[in-house]
Amino acid sequence: MIPYGKQEITQADIDAVLDVLHSDFLTQGPKVPEFEAKVAGHVGAKHALAANSATSALHIACLALGLGPDDWLWTSPVTFVASANCGLYCGARVDFVDIDPRTYNLCPKALAAKLEQAEREGRLPKVLVAVHLSGQSCDMAAIHELGQRYGFRIIEDASHAIGGKYKGEFIGSGRYSDITVFSFHPVKIVTTAEGGMALTNDDHLASRMNLLRSHGVTRDQNLMTREPDGPWYYQQVELGFNYRMTELQAALGVSQMDRLDDFVARRHELAKRYDDLLADLPVTTPWQHPDTYSGLHLYVIRLQLDTINRTHREVFESLREQGIGVNLHYIPVHTQPYYEAMGFAPEDFPEAMAYYREAISLPMFHGLEEGQQDEVVRALERALA
């Protein structure tokens, strides 16, 4: 089976983790700050807060922005459920904005129209989560302009996008958003096994997220309500969570970051090769906006179902039967039973549903060999026949 995604672990990665196992710290030691500094320095952000998952990072990002009951969080329906669930964790209400038919990201035109209506109805969002699907940035300049006009805060869910760029700057620099979140799950571009990170240029937001990821507990006297009883003293000043990253995960992340540029460059080579190999098949290959340089976590094709004699499911199952570990990213969140119970219907977001009926994620990872890629394409040709 050729998987759709796979981590690449080298001896240097293994040695980095072993060094931590032989050290005095398995958690809350020097490696987490080193990893944070390495990511922040690479993308040009002021602060980076490592967490045990991107979901945790999204949660504390929403809380730091003051999202709470009776507030609205908006995001894309074509994403993993965590992009929406983070709003529910805060007691907020969730809604969606349909996608752009070429980038598959949240559509700024649909967002503008929805904001006009929401302003009339008195239900503007407090937070917008802009998801960089497959690693390609949303049109953040347009979204930021709307944020300034309508007063909402912006989180970039860049779980797919570390190493990517928008308008020549690394995703995560924070020029057009309040907080950016990366994921380091094994199928992502850089892995720490499980893990995530929130980045911001705002000192206050960084301080809040730092507290929230570690039980709301502090030893910083400047944050305490009274003088400490002694050198052992700490205070809980927030209701926080145990969302910390371990030293083992951070050591792996530090080692992986040394190869980030190579990881992304290789994905671009593979994507270009896919583009060429698939040019004559009845599929639509990914379109890249000229303002973006994608991290290319995923390579998603769309079947041209009106020109083939097989269904989406038949093509997908044929590929799996031939040993190609394709996947589908994602089932639109608003069609999940939990969200349908809130009143959402599948056709509320027609572009998202059109995408869902045609999309297949082909294998894309740094270690994918050209011979394997050729086999993927041959299998797809047979599946389409």
Separation CA 76–CA 99 (nearest Å): 7
> pLDDT tens across 64-81, in order?
999 999 999 999 999 999
- Tokens 């040709």 locate to 381
Mean pLDDT of 233-238: 97
Give the pLDDT score at 22: 98
Q: Is the dihedral of CA 302, 104, 198, 190 positive or negative?
A: positive
Report the DSSP pairing between strands 127-131 and 153-157: parallel
Give the pLDDT score at 87: 98
Give the pLDDT score at 189: 98
Give the pLDDT score at 267: 98
Give the pLDDT score at 41: 98
Place 291 in a pLDDT band, splitting at 50, 70 and 90.
very high
Give the pLDDT score at 273: 98
> pLDDT tens across 161-217, in order?
999 999 999 999 999 999 999 999 999 999 999 999 999 999 999 999 999 999 999
Mean pLDDT of 212-229: 96
Place 269 in a pLDDT band, splitting at 50, 70 and 90.
very high
Give the Å distances, CA to CA, from 316 to 31, 131, 152, 301, 383: 42, 25, 39, 12, 8
Per the DSSP assignment, residues forming a β-bridge with 155 are 129, 179
Burial of 221 (0-12, 13-18, 19+ CB in 10 A): exposed
Give the pLDDT score at 171: 98
Separation CA 326–CA 363 (nearest Å): 6
Q: What is the mean pLDDT of the chain?
A: 98
Give the pLDDT score at 220: 95
Give the tokens for residue 231: 């050198």
Place 258 in a pLDDT band, splitting at 50, 70 and 90.
very high
Per the DSSP assignment, residues forming a β-bridge with 347 are none
Burial of 323 (0-12, 13-18, 19+ CB in 10 A): exposed
Give the pLDDT score at 46: 98
Mean pLDDT of 6-32: 97
- Percent of residues, the chain, with pLDDT higher than 90: 100
Place 120 in a pLDDT band, splitting at 50, 70 and 90.
very high
Mean pLDDT of 258-270: 98
Query: Is the distance from CB of 155 to CB of 58 less than 8 angstroms?
Result: yes
User: How far from the centroid of its chain's Cα atoms is residue 179's Cα?
Assistant: 12
> pLDDT tens across 79-103, in order?
999 999 999 999 999 999 999 999 9
Kind and range of the H or E element at 55? Answer: helix 54-64
Report the DSSP pairing between strands 93-96 and 72-75: parallel
